[in-house]
Structure 1
Amino acid sequence: MKVLIAGGGTGGHLFPGIALAEEVVTRHHRNEVVFVGTERGLEAKVVPQAGFPLEFIRARGLKGKGLGQLIKGLLALPLAFIESFRILQKHKPDVVVGVGGYASGPVVMAAWLLGIPTAVQEQNALPGLTNKLLGKVVKVVFTAFDEARRFFPEGKVQLVGNPIRRKLMDNYLRSHVAHERFAILVFGGSLGAKGVNQRVVEALEHLVDLKDQIHFLHQTGKNDLEMVRKGYADKGFQAEVVEFIDDMSDAYARADLVVCRAGATTLAELTVCKKASILVPFPYATDNHQEVNARALVEAGAAVMFRESELTGQKLAEQIRLLKQEPARLKQMEKKAGLLGRPEASKELADVCVDLMVHAYGPNGRDRPAKAETQKDPGASKP
């Protein structure tokens, strides 16, 4: 089986695609996955590191752009479609899956026009414009939140959760890492989050009496790295401050509490890794979808949420102090988070991809030798 995964831009779109790709290639040594993205997106760095081939198209965003950027985006569309057709003819995938981002739209539409089975994976409770449009033509829409169902044609939606990368699944299967200090993981997504970074630094002034009891691991993004490092140093806190965390599995395993944004992929990771969290939704997310995402965890008792406009350093410090002093409540939040986790999401998505291929081309796929490539290797391990 050969799957082409289109989209990316941010980790929220890209990492579910990586997780699906890992599941597909693990099933049989002849299975293949190809990614299509843009040179500006996170995929340009992460996909090659993950060991998958990557093609580029010159797509641009349209929604929420100024007039100049909108015109550039519209002018780039015909070229993006031509490049998408060429890539599809070159690789001849059995199934095309869009995961959101600039590249998803042209590639999935081109695949649909060529008669290739298509699907989209919607990570959020409130779908983006691209997936809403693609949902009208694709065979299947994978969702992570039941709230997204109403935006798509009846009968196409499969609620499976957000796929999680294998390294994070390792965390799900192993015991908690023992450590002396209360460990807090802070991050704002793959690009960082200025609002989260600033509130955490402001909170340190109100936590000075606990500086010998708390350890921070803080992913800042590129722009705030030095500011955040100085903030911890000035207050005498022990902290690992980095631009980007490569091994999130280890980071989650070490954390007693997570302070982060509320992107759908982040929430999926929190639930699979069974982590209590303080969520600060990105206030400028399209249709405020991060706050909608976060409420699912808050209502389940797995997280605490603050709107960024209402959050102060003092409020954040008070909540951190409260959760540190109430380990029983923290454990209950971890348990509630775990009940929301969907560790089988990657497997379920891959199963449907196989069904789409078999229905369209038979068990051997599109223009492939007569060999059952969809079967698992005898020694292949299950996710």
Structure 2
Amino acid sequence: MTRTFLLTAGGTGGHLFPAQALAGELVRRGHVVELATDHRVSDYGSDFPARAVHVVSSATLGGRSPVALVRTAWKLGKGLLQARALIRRLRPDAVVGFGGYPTFPPMFAAFLAGVPSVLHEANAVMGRANRMLAGRASAVATSFPLVGEAAGEHAAKSVRTGNPVREAVIAASGTPYSAPRAGEPFDLLVFGGSQGARYFSQVMAGALECLAPETRARLALVQQCRAEDIDTVRSACDRLGVTAELAPFFSDMPARIAGAHLVLCRSGASSVSELAVIGRPSVLVPLPHALDNDQGRNAEVLARAGGAWPVNQAELSPERLAALLTELMDTPERLAQAAEAARAAGRPDAVSLLADLVEHVAARTPLDALAARETQNGDAS
């Protein structure tokens, strides 16, 4: 049966990428998908497989001044009216939210209209917008075991699906890991969001100075840098004889991950999920000062599996990064073991599991029936 699904997500890659993966799977199953998000969709959602994209007003609860709170309330109220009109027109069978404040108006409008909904939480710690919405959702799909109050509060409606990854990530996962050999080039990939890119540009320039000449000579660096930081990093690489490819954005990031011996990056949910599915060792630097330490929790998941080495940003000086790179470059067996452990922790079937859940909720069938069906399928296999 063909159904209509309204997907809603914040306009960042961490929210839109898993939504994009689910949209592709639902379209393959013969369903109709539409997307509700914010104005940032132009940065990440140009190839989103939706019949139409709807920009809904939203705002983040950033300031606490009366003026800021009134402005936020007005924008969210406007978004709620837009979302209610959109749901009345589309009459979706279910609404699926992927986090971020742009999710709030469509998901709350679905609740008011009596439309079934699924809330996907990509991180190990439930975000603020999702915490406000979880009690009104029909089901909560989780990527990692939840920690904090939300873990017990929503246990009855939580289903572990994993975090869906893009088709390009699944394709890249077919590339086996090849451990570096002594004396041969060592492929290091460095990336992060805009803030992560600035920090990594600063720390990498210093770390290159600290590397021994023979170690530095092996390094083949691919790094995402802010446009204003590229000249600084390039100057350091040229002066020190380091082969480097630098750019503000790489459209083929999954292939870049697959081609790396080691990845240095933030530990957002999408990054951690993609590293695991592709199976690459990583040094993870959680974004500091996050209210819920969600990236720190994500990094712990992959570290416990043996696939990553988390380091707090405050502790990762250029000297320490240089020492860590040298240690790992000299022990390829550790990298190979971490790559295998990361892959074992990956959930390449996450998009299929989430699509099953979404179809199940759209059919207004109790969640315990889905659990029973999955148990039978597991026994059969």
TM-score using structure 2 length: 0.88
Distance 1:147 1:97 in 2: 19
1:309 corresponds in structure 2 to 314
CA distance 1:195–1:129, shift in 2 (3 Å): same
Residue pair 2:126, 2:146 contacting (<8 A) in 1 also: no
**Which of 14, 17, 25 is the equivalent residue of 1:15?**
17
Show the 5 A alignment for 1:185-264. 185-189=189-193, 192-207=196-211, 209=213, 210-264=215-269
Distance 1:225 1:69 in 2: 35
2:277 corresponds in structure 1 to 272
* Matched letter for residue 45 of structure 2: V
Higher relative contact order (CA 8 A, sep 6+): 1
TM-score using structure 1 length: 0.88
Residue pair 1:7, 1:36 contacting (<8 A) in 2 also: yes
CA distance 1:75–1:198, shift in 2 (3 Å): same
1:110 corresponds in structure 2 to 109
1:350 corresponds in structure 2 to 355
CA distance 1:178–1:359, shift in 2 (3 Å): same
1:182 corresponds in structure 2 to 186
Residue pair 1:10, 1:190 contacting (<8 A) in 2 also: no
Distance 2:37 2:349 in 1: 26
* Matched letter for residue 337 of structure 1: A
Distance 1:9 1:240 in 2: 27
Distance 1:109 1:151 in 2: 22
Residue pair 1:142, 1:158 contacting (<8 A) in 2 also: yes
* Matched letter for residue 318 of structure 2: G
2:47 corresponds in structure 1 to 49
Q: Determine if the alignment matches structure 1 residue 3 to structure 2 residue 5.
A: yes
1:363 corresponds in structure 2 to none
* Matched letter for residue 204 of structure 2: V
Distance 1:142 1:102 in 2: 18
Residue pair 1:38, 1:102 contacting (<8 A) in 2 also: no
Q: Deviations over 1:300-359 (max 9, x none)?
A: 221111111111001011111111110111101111111110111000010111111223
Distance 1:223 1:285 in 2: 25
Residue pair 2:177, 2:336 contacting (<8 A) in 1 also: no
CA distance 1:9–1:136, shift in 2 (3 Å): same
Cα shift at 1:67: 5.6
1:133 corresponds in structure 2 to 132
Distance 1:65 1:257 in 2: 41
Greater fraction helix: 2
After TM superposition, the structure 1 stretch with the greater mean CA deviation from structure 2, 175-184 or 218-227, is: 175-184
* Matched letter for residue 295 of structure 2: Q
1:164 corresponds in structure 2 to 165
Residue pair 1:182, 1:215 contacting (<8 A) in 2 also: yes
Cα shift at 1:49: 2.6
Distance 1:78 1:160 in 2: 32
Cα shift at 1:223: 4.4
Residue pair 2:197, 2:224 contacting (<8 A) in 1 also: no
CA distance 1:157–1:25, shift in 2 (3 Å): same
* Matched letter for residue 21 of structure 1: A
CA distance 1:291–1:192, shift in 2 (3 Å): closer
Structure 1 vs Structure 2 CA RMSD: 2.0
Distance 2:24 2:194 in 1: 20
Residue pair 1:121, 1:141 contacting (<8 A) in 2 also: yes
Which residues of structure 2 form unaligned runs of 5+? 366-381
* Matched letter for residue 315 of structure 2: E
1:284 corresponds in structure 2 to 289
Residue pair 2:119, 2:139 contacting (<8 A) in 1 also: yes
Residue pair 1:192, 1:221 contacting (<8 A) in 2 also: no
After TM superposition, the structure 1 stretch with the greater mean CA deviation from structure 2, 244-253 or 84-93, is: 84-93
Cα shift at 1:289: 1.5
Q: Deviations over 1:196-230 (max 9, x none)?
A: 22111211101251233111111124443333333
CA distance 1:153–1:312, shift in 2 (3 Å): same
Residue pair 2:179, 2:335 contacting (<8 A) in 1 also: no
1:34 corresponds in structure 2 to 34
Residue pair 1:208, 1:235 contacting (<8 A) in 2 also: no
2:93 corresponds in structure 1 to 94
Q: Deviations over 1:21-64 (max 9, x none)?
A: 11111222xx221111111x2x2232223343311011110156
CA distance 1:54–1:296, shift in 2 (3 Å): same
Report the 3-state secondary structure (helix = DSSP H, G, I; strand = E; otherwise coil) of the residue aligned with 1:258. strand
1:173 corresponds in structure 2 to 174
CA distance 1:75–1:220, shift in 2 (3 Å): same
After TM superposition, the structure 1 stretch with the greater mean CA deviation from structure 2, 239-248 or 177-186, is: 177-186
Residue pair 1:271, 1:339 contacting (<8 A) in 2 also: yes
Q: Deviations over 1:135-160 (max 9, x none)?
A: 10101101111134615423100111
* Matched letter for residue 79 of structure 1: K
